[in-house]
Copies of this chain bind each other. A is one copy, B any other.
Amino acid sequence: MADVARRAGVSAMTVSRALKDKSAVTPETRDRIFQAVQDLGYVLDMSAGALSSKKTGFVSVLIPSLNNSNFSDTVQGISEILDTEGMQVLIGTTNYSRVREEQVIATMLQRRPEGIIVTGGTHTARARSMLETAGIPVIETWDLPVAPIGHVVGFSNAATIEDLMARLMFWGYRRVAFIEGEPGDDTRGHDRRTGYERAVRALGLERSCVISVGRPPVTVEHGAQAVVRLIETWPEVEAVICVSDLSALGAIMECHRRGWDVPGRLAVAGFGDFQVARHCWPSITTVSVGSLAIGQETGTLMLQAIAAMRAGTPLPPRRITIPHTVIERDSTARQPHPAETAPAP
């Protein structure tokens, strides 16, 4: 920067200003500086700027896995918003493990992010305490924790499945099962199962049936395996909710393979409104949770929180609930009863 300053015949400070504020410098000076930057191929060093200004321009985002379009949509939403203020996202993946999350948080904090966004509301004790004492805005997403660390942008995973169950009931299904991954650190999956079980009781259904196959992330293949186990376990089952659209797709494809009609023999619903759910055949009934919207809301809130922090007046904890929607598609369409198609008396 000193070189640029010399070449433009100004001080380094003026160069610094020209490169950021644009306003605070005479147009001619500015032009001379930009010319010098061009000539020298100078590239600003933000890491030095960060040290000096104590503003790194980073926000850390922790997600279970990049390879889940719901989470990458959320990251996408966050990035879009943060980009508008020139802030960058530092992504970390926890691989659905809380221990791993703790490690990633520890590493991230060494980079001095100006805010940190985590997925879910369940963390190790040490992770939680690191977040609490980090002195930066914290947002938990994809959940509505009872005792949040800071801000929250999410929804109740249990409630989404309760709603879905209510709709299945409304459509006439009574024997409904649930397909999930093996229990572990995937609390969101677990919450959805809880929603299922609560709904079974609340709706007075005769029995519940949960099939757990595969360690999270639950894949298409797990869904295929699970549906076979389900039919063996409970031949009378009429419908099944899968913990995600991917496993729902697997279940449906396995049904095709075995000649079981969907939804005739078995209705199938998923969660997450993945792209394939809308376009596969039959299209999959699911719960949309607005993954992108979660990201955008989170980004917007983070920007406010950071601005408040910089101004020395931390934002009081906010709690934003993202609406979810049950989307009815072909995979649960009730075949018309003979009576229904008969002419009215």
Contact = CB atoms under 8 A, between A and B. Distances in A.
B75 A66 contact: yes
19 contacts: A43-B110, A45-B110, A46-B111, A46-B112, A48-B51, A66-B72, A67-B72, A67-B73, A88-B111, A90-B90, A220-B276, A220-B278, A246-B275, A246-B276, A249-B276, A249-B280, A253-B279, A253-B280, A256-B281
Contacts of A220: 275-276, 278-280
Contact of A79 (B43, B50, B93, B279): B93
A70 to B, nearest CB: 10
A69 interface: yes
Nearest to A91: B91
A221 B90 CA distance: 31
Interface string A117-135: 0000000000000000110
A47 interface: yes
A159 interface: no
A109 B56 CA distance: 15
A46 B58 CA distance: 13
A76 interface: yes
B280 A44 contact: no
A185 B90 CA distance: 26
A219 interface: yes
Contacts of A275: 219-221, 246
Interface string A243-258: 0001001100110110
A135 to B, nearest CB: 10
B46 A279 contact: no
Interface of A: 41, 43-48, 50-51, 56, 66-67, 69, 72-73, 75-76, 79, 88-91, 93, 107, 109-112, 133-134, 219-221, 224, 246, 249-250, 253-254, 256-257, 275-276, 278-281
A280 B279 CA distance: 13
B67 A76 contact: yes
Contacts of A110: 43-46
A33 B134 CA distance: 20
B221 A250 contact: no
Contacts of A76: 66-67, 93
Nearest to A83: B107
A247 B93 CA distance: 28
B279 A249 contact: yes
The 6 closest A-B pairs by CB, nearest first: A220-B279, A253-B281, A66-B72, A256-B281, A46-B110, A67-B72
A340 B74 CA distance: 53
Contacts of A47: 47, 50-51, 56, 111-112
A109 B110 CA distance: 20
A141 to B, nearest CB: 16
A90 B93 contact: no
Nearest to A75: B66
